[in-house]
Structures are given as structure tokens and as C-alpha cells.
Amino acid sequence: MSANWRPLLAVLAAVSTTTLAACASDHGAGAVAEQLLAAASSGDGAAACSLLSPRTRSELEESSGKPCEEAILEEQLTAEEPVTVSVFETSAQVRFPTSAVFLARFDSGWRVVAAACTPVPNQPYDCSVQGV
């Protein structure tokens, strides 16, 4: 994991469960994370990749040597219902029963910057899909 993402992931991991205001953009983070997992688990790589940040998409393609639409399907992402959605200004963490998804707010809306993230004791999350 790149050192650039460690502070962000550490902060988001430390944020307690947040009750979100009725702001559509905040609720959008949870919806985007759910859409990513649903698209990938149903085999729709194009839809899943459309939800990734440009840097995450690029890193996935570079690390796999395949187009994003193929590579994302090899990550074995599973559709689940979110447990919590925590938003901190322009960053969000959506926790699922078996993993977490991290997002950033772009001009075009929420985009996934890391997915298939599992907690590591006393360290930031370990993510199989992430931008560097």
C-alpha cells in the first residue's frame, strides 16, 4: 500500500460510526460502494470500473496487466449490505460484514479509491483494489 493512502485510511478507520445528515451526496457514498460490489459480483466489469477513481482504475490495470473490466472481476468482490457509512468531508468509508470500501468525492460524485479492504491489527487496512 502506498504511503500516500496510509494517513487517509488510518483516519477513516479511526472515525466512529457517523449518523449521516439527509444529504444526498453523503448517502451517495454508500450507494456507490454497494453498486461497485453488486456490479462486480454480477459480472458487469464495465459498470464496476465506472465507479473507480481514475487513479484506482489505472493502478488496477497496471498491476493486473489487463483491462479494468476484466481485472475487477478477478478480485472476487461480493455484494453485501453495508454495516456503516462514515463520511469525513470529501472522504468516506463504507464497512460491510467482510470488508470495507473507501471513497473520495470528485466533481463527478463519489468514486471508489480502495475496495476489498480488510482491517489489519494496529495498522491501516489492507486493500486488494486501490490507487497508489
| Contact present, 120 and 82 (Cβ < 8 Å) | no
Q: Where are the domains of the chain?
A: 6-14+23-130
Average pLDDT, the chain: 84
pLDDT, one tens digit per residue, over 60-84 is: 999 999 999 999 999 989 999 999 9
What's the whole-number mean pLDDT along residues 16-20?
33
Q: Which CATH architecture has domain 6-14+23-130?
A: Roll (3.10)
What is the per-residue pLDDT for 76? 83
Tell me the pTM.
Answer: 0.80
